[in-house]
């Protein structure tokens, strides 16, 4: 599977050196740093890259789950990716990210050879003004990873940026890589995690948070995705429940012409 291989900050951040089949080495990127450690979206993309660059990989990704067992330290890491079972049309994967020979991240994924058959999308794309009509918010004291995206929030910005009083955690936003980059499975994975934490939409203080588990379902096939240009996508997300230090987050990513690219859900720890 081919990727954007130009010297884009995202490709540098997700670059892997394959030492032997299924064994890779990489390094965290200061450009995609979060409040503590690297941005979880770029880590998820790096794990997916280890699968898609594996010589035994078949098809394209249909699902990815990443469990963040411990913080990733800002240094070198090793990734081990192996197919656990290969069927006629699906392939199942297990991936680990290790530092100091200790598992920090574990992940499962499914790739598949898709068939041209009956399809239907029951969810409608949310109505939104064009990207260029939505002003940028002044974002002060944000972590470095945010600077790699052009984010235009239509609804549901963090309260610290707006001082608005809201009763729900719904966010609707346009987003694209900065500098511009053609969309592929790797950048789509990272964008699925590029929403500000739901608790920051509901409450003003920037409390400690961390994603515990992230799942992405990819609804677009490789050939269609390959036709997508370097342009913004629309993200729509909300939490359903905040309870005893954990909340969920569900979302969708849409192309500008109304194609559902991916749906995502995650569980987040917070300390309030």
122 within domain boundaries: no
DSSP assignment of 253-270, as one string? EE-TTS-EEEEEEEEEEE
Residue 2 falls within a domain, yes or no?
no
Please say if the pLDDT value at position 223 is more than 90. Answer: no
Strand partners, 33: 38
pLDDT (tens digit per residue) in 146-156: 999 999 999 99
Residue 119 domain-assigned (yes or no): no
Q: What is the number of domains present in the chain? A: 1
Residue-wise pLDDT tens digits, 30-83: 999 999 999 999 999 999 999 999 999 999 999 999 999 999 999 999 999 999
Question: pTM above 0.85?
Answer: yes
Range of the domain at 177: 9-113+132-270
The H-or-E segment that residue 202 falls in is helix 198-202
User: Residue 3: inside a domain, yes or no?
Assistant: no
Q: Residue 121 to residues 107, 173, 206, 243, 262: CA-CA distances in angstroms?
A: 27, 21, 36, 31, 12
- Please tell me the number of Cα atoms within 13 Å of 233 on its side-chain side: 33
Q: With respect to residue 227, please indicate whether it lies within any of the assigned structural domains.
A: yes
pLDDT, tens digit, 9 for 90 and up, residues 178-214: 999 999 999 999 999 999 999 999 999 989 999 999 9
**CATH number of the domain bearing residue 76:** 2.40.160.210
Residue 47 lies in a domain: yes
CB atoms within 10 A of CB 102: 9
Q: How many helices (H) and strands (E) does the chain have?
A: 6, 13
């Amino acid at each position: 599977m081919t990727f954007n291989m130009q010297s884009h900050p995202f490709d540098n951040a997700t670059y892997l050196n394959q030492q032997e089949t299924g064994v890779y080495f990489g390094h965290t990127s200061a450009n995609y740093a979060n409040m503590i450690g690297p941005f979880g979206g770029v880590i998820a993309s790096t794990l997916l890259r280890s699968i898609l660059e594996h010589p035994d990989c078949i098809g394209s990704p249909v699902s990815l789950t990443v469990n963040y067992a411990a913080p990733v330290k800002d240094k070198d890491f090793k990734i081990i990716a192996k197919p656990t079972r290969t069927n006629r049309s699906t392939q199942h994967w297990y991936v680990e990210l290790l530092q100091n020979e200790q598992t920090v991240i574990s992940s499962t994924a499914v790739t598949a050879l898709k068939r041209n058959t009956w399809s239907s999308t029951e969810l409608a794309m949310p109505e939104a003004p064009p990207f260029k009509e939505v002003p940028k918010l002044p974002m002060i004291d944000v972590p470095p990873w945010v600077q790699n995206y052009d984010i235009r929030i239509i609804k549901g910005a963090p309260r610290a940026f707006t001082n608005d009083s809201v009763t729900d955690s719904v966010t609707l936003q346009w987003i694209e890589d900065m500098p511009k980059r053609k969309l592929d499975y790797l950048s789509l994975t990272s964008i699925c995690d590029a929403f500000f934490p739901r608790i920051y939409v509901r409450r003003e203080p920037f409390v400690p948070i961390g994603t515990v588990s992230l799942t992405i379902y990819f609804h677009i096939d490789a050939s269609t995705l390959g036709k997508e240009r370097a342009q913004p996508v629309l993200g729509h997300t909300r939490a359903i429940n905040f309870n005893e230090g954990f909340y969920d987050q569900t979302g969708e990513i849409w192309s500008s012409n109304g194609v559902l690219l991916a749906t995502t859900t995650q569980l987040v720890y917070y300390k309030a």
